[in-house]
Amino acid sequence: MSGFIDLHTHTTASDGSMTPEELVRHAKNRGLSAVAITDHDTVGGIAAGLAEGEAAGIEVIAGVEISVAFKPEMHMLGYFSQAAYTNIKDTLDTLRKNREERNPKIIKKLNGLGFDISLEEVKKEALGDVVGRPHIAKVMVGKGYADSLEEVFDKYLASGRPAYFKKDKLTPREGIEEILKAGGVPVLAHPIFLGLDSVGLDHLLYELKDAGLKGMEVHYVENTEEDTRLLLELAQGHELLITGGSDFHGGFKENIEIGAGRGNLKIPYVLLEELKRLMRQA
C-alpha cells in the first residue's frame, strides 16, 4: 500500500459532524488510503466505519481518544486490531459516566451567565453516545450568543474560562495501561497541547515510555514546522512510533480537512505499516 492517511478523526459517535459511513467515504473521496476513527471515549462508530471501509475500498483502523489527568491537557490515542477494539468498552463506559456528570455543571454555569440553554438542546446536537463541549458550543452559536464555535471556547468553555469544568480522569499511566490491557497501542496525542518545552517533554516521555507508551502523534494539524521537527527528534530519541492526524471533526471544528488539516499535512502510509506491526504484537 502507498499514498496518504489520517490517524486522528472524529465522527457523530462523539463530537464530529459526519457519521462513520460519511467520514469513511469522505476520506476515500479525498484520496486517502487509510483512515483511523478515534472518537472521544467511545468505539461506538467503529463497526459501521469498518463495514463502510470494506464497501468503499479504503482501510479503516479502529481507535479511540481518551483525556487523561494532566494540566493543561493530555489526550491518549489507542489503536486496535479489529479483534481487540471491543475490549476497551468497559473502561470507556466509565469515562462516559464522568462526562455525564460534567455537562449539567457547564450548562448551569452558562445559565448563571445569562444564557438560555438546556441540556436537552445540547443532547439533540449529539447523535452518538458522547456529549461534549462542541455540542454545547453549537447550541450557543445557533442562539446567536457567539459567531463561531471557537469564540464560545475562547470566551466560556476552554480551560480557565468561566464555564470550564474538568472531568474525572484516569492518570496518564492508567490510560496507557487500560489501552495495553485491551490489546491496543497507546500513542500520545498532539503533544503541543501539553504546555511543555522540549526539556519538559523529554522528561515526560521517559515516564510515559516507562508506563508503556508506544508512539507519539508527531504530525498534527496545529503544529508549526518547528514543532514537528522537534517532535520527530524526540520520537526517534525515545524510540517511539510516529503517527499523524488532522483531528478532523467536520463542521464541529472549523476549517480542518481530513488528511490535509489546514493544508499542512501529508501523512505517508508507511507510518501505518509500523503501527500495524505493533497492533499485531499487542
Cα Rg of the chain (Å, integer): 18
DSSP summary character for residue 192: G
Beta bridge partners of 257: 261
CA dist 1 and 84 (Å) reads 23
> What does 78 interact with, of ligand AMP, Zn ion, Fe ion, none (CB < 5 to 8 A by kind)?
none
Measured over the CA atoms of residue 274, residue 66, residue 253 and residue 70, the dihedral's sign is negative
Task: Name which of 214 and 249 has its Cβ closer to ligand AMP.
Answer: 249
Is the previous residue joined to 172 through a cis bond, with omega within 30 degrees of 0? no
17: DSSP letter: S
- For Zn ion, the closer of residues 234 and 256 by Cβ is 256
Q: Binding segment for Fe ion among 58-66, 88-96, 178-186, 270-278 (CB under 5 A)?
A: 58-66
Number of residues that bind Fe ion (CB under 5 A): 4
Tell me which residue of 137, 166, 145 sits closest to 253, measured CA to CA: 137
If the CB atoms of residues 117 and 267 are measured against Fe ion, the closer one turns out to be 267
Nearer to Fe ion, 117 or 221 (CB): 221
Q: Does 40 bind ligand AMP (CB under 6 A)?
A: yes
**Residue indicated by cell numbers 475500498:** 57
Binding segment toward Zn ion, per CB under 5 A, in 5-13, 74-82, 180-188, 273-281: 5-13
- What amino acid occupies position 8? H
Between residue 227 and residue 246, which ones bind Fe ion under the rule CB under 5 A?
none
Instruction: Report d(CA 89, CA 43) in Å as an integer.
Output: 7
Binding mask 135-154 for ligand AMP (x = CB under 6 A): --------------xx--x-
List the one residue from 15, 21, 39, 125 that touches Zn ion (CB under 5 A): 15
Q: Residues in the site for ligand AMP, rule: CB under 6 A?
A: 15, 40, 132-134, 149-150, 153, 158, 249, 253
